[in-house]
A and B are shown apart, each in its own frame.
Chain A
Amino acid sequence: MSQELLLVDDDANDAALFCLAAKEAGISYPIRVAGSGEEALDLLLGKRFCPVVTFLDIKMPGTDGLEVLRRLRADPLYRNVVIIVLTGSDLESDRVEALKLGCNLFLTKPESLSGYIEMARRIKALLP
């Protein structure tokens, strides 16, 4: 198991923000970013890359986060890896669907940098 975090998000700004917050919070794991659902699936299922935690955005063009989640949980290798949905959507239907498909946490993207950093600190506490 490689000692990396994976962030799946089509929004480069959000990805940069996440990395900034992780750095500020003192997360020492390197963060690999996949810019689309397809790229993520290729990395995980294709290359058998296994991150410590996967952060998954839902609303993406092409293969969306829910589809990625479904495909990962169908694979025995990824049945038990930690997957956290981190999305801009606060739709109840998305939350219910994501939890049903087996995400470990459903988080809504914070509206401020301080919010992001606070979130990153909480996540750091969970990491091995």
Chain B
Amino acid sequence: MIQRRTSRLYAGFQAALVFSGLSVLAVLGLALQIYRTQQAILHEDVDSVIQIQRLRYRVERQVSTERAFLLTGFPTFRRRLELGPEIARIIRSLSGRGAAPERELLLAEVSRQVDLYETDLARLRSGRWSKDSALSIFENQLQPRRNALFQPLERLIQLEYEELQNAKASAKRYGRWSLILGAVMAAGLVAALLATGAFVRRSLLALERERKSLEAAKADLEKLVAERTRNLERAVQQLEAFGYSVAHDLRAPARTIAIFSEAVLRKEASLDEDTRGFFHRIKEAGQRMRLMLDGLLTLSRISQEKLSLGPVDLAVIARRRLDELAAQEPERRVEVRVADSIPVQGDARLLEILLQNLLENAWKFTLDRPDARIEAGSETRDGVRVHFVRDNGRGFDPALNQRLFKPFHRLPNAEGIPGLGIGLASASRIADAHGGKIWVESMPGAGTTFFFTLSDPK
């Protein structure tokens, strides 16, 4: 939903940008046209008209000066005026502006007529004429020349005026169009802005609504999770309690099985060999079951009991337990290395069980070695205090690592070594209860090291 809205918003912005860009380009183009037209009007067109007018005026003056000289004979009127450069200037300014063949023709005509006029004028001045004949030549030859020159000039002026009018009209048109376009553009921009604003506002409102509904959903979810967690915790507790009571209640029948098998076995004389064997098996199974149930009860108690925390020295416990083990089997030679002191925070009774299990394990699995060695110590790994019990006993395949800590899992190479597979499970639960963990590093034949942490006791 949000994604769709966002992409639509972007599309809207892009469209508005493209529209604005095009409008700006159009207005710039129009403005350029207007500017050009104005330039043309202001400079070139007006300029050429003025020049043509000036030429006309010069010719007019020339003619009237000449006439005055002829009438009065005053030398002041005998000034010579050069029309050639003037014509050249006009032609330069007018030619090349658009392909107007009529103008080119007119210009050529003007140029020709000026030449003729000047030639006639020169002839008039160079001859020695009487006053009357000079006037007559003037009237009959120069005046028509002048008129012939004026005709294309008049036409040129007219042409230039027309062009000026055209330019004016087109400037007006462009101005009108640019006004209309500007108005349309402004209206369009305002409309686009309004639409965008409305759209943004709607989008924001929708987003806000969505955020609120998400928040509500989140709160619901959190409530649900909390409830589920409570249910789960209750279920786990019930399961633990159920497990405990099952284990507890099964102890009596298991004991009965073992004891009455024993009772049968007491009547040895009346039993044949096979029957005796069967009852031995029943008795042992009953006893084993009893021990397993005891183990389960111990495990269950560890998980349910509340820790009573205090300072504990693991080294003291380790030394005491190893002394007891040595006293039980005085014939064994085991080299014992225990750190001077391993101070920790924890539940003394549970930590004793943990350490006892690990040490008994080490003790049992070094049975085959004449140079048995058991170490208990502590080191810092990655800033965490790690305690360990190390032996140089049988060791095992590292692939079995994690299964080891599950109840009733025993190592495949544990033949001849007593045990139920409860000790390490208990140790793991105790480490867990202390907010720590337990793991093992081992290689077959190279011994085993159990590590555990007790950081962050609960």
Contacts and interface: CB of A to CB of B under 8 A. Distances in A.
A13 B260 CA distance: 9
A13 B252 contact: yes
Given A13-B252, A111-B255, A24 B266 contact: yes
B259 A116 contact: yes
B263 A20 contact: yes
A88 B258 contact: no
B393 to A, nearest CB: 31
Interface string B249-269: 000100110111011001000
A11 interface: yes
A101 interface: no
B145 interface: no
B259 A17 contact: yes
B290 interface: yes
Interface residues of A, number: 12
A114 B255 contact: no
A11 B259 contact: no
Contacts of B266: 24, 113
Interface in B258-285: 258-260, 262-263, 266
Given A111-B290, A112-B262, A113-B262, A11 B255 contact: no
A116 B252 CA distance: 15
B256 A13 contact: yes
A89 to B, nearest CB: 11
A17 B258 CA distance: 12
Nearest to A20: B263
Contact of B258 (A11, A14, A24, A112): A112
A17 B287 CA distance: 16
B252 A11 contact: yes
Tell me the interface secondary structure of chain A in the complex.
helix
A113 B263 contact: yes
Contacts of A113: 259-260, 262-263, 266
A113 B259 CA distance: 5
Contacts of A20: 263
A93 B252 CA distance: 21
A112 B263 CA distance: 9
A112 B286 CA distance: 11
Nearest to B264: A113
Contacts of A17: 256, 259-260, 263
A11 B252 CA distance: 9
Interface string A8-41: 0001011001001000100000000000000000
Nearest to B259: A113
A114 B262 contact: yes
Interface string A69-95: 000000000000000000010000000
Contacts of A114: 262
B252 A112 contact: no
A122 B165 CA distance: 146
A116 B256 CA distance: 12
Nearest to A114: B262
A68 to B, nearest CB: 20
A14 B252 CA distance: 9
A117 to B, nearest CB: 9
Contacts of B259: 17, 111-113, 116
Interface string A24-68: 100000000000000000000000000000000000000000000
A60 to B, nearest CB: 13
11 contacts: A17-B260, A17-B263, A24-B266, A88-B252, A111-B258, A111-B290, A112-B258, A112-B262, A113-B262, A113-B266, A114-B262
Given A24-B266, A88-B252, 7 more contacts: A13-B252, A111-B259, A112-B262, A112-B287, A113-B262, A113-B263, A116-B259
Interface of A: 11, 13-14, 17, 20, 24, 88, 111-114, 116
3 tightest A-B contacts by CB? A113-B262, A13-B256, A113-B259
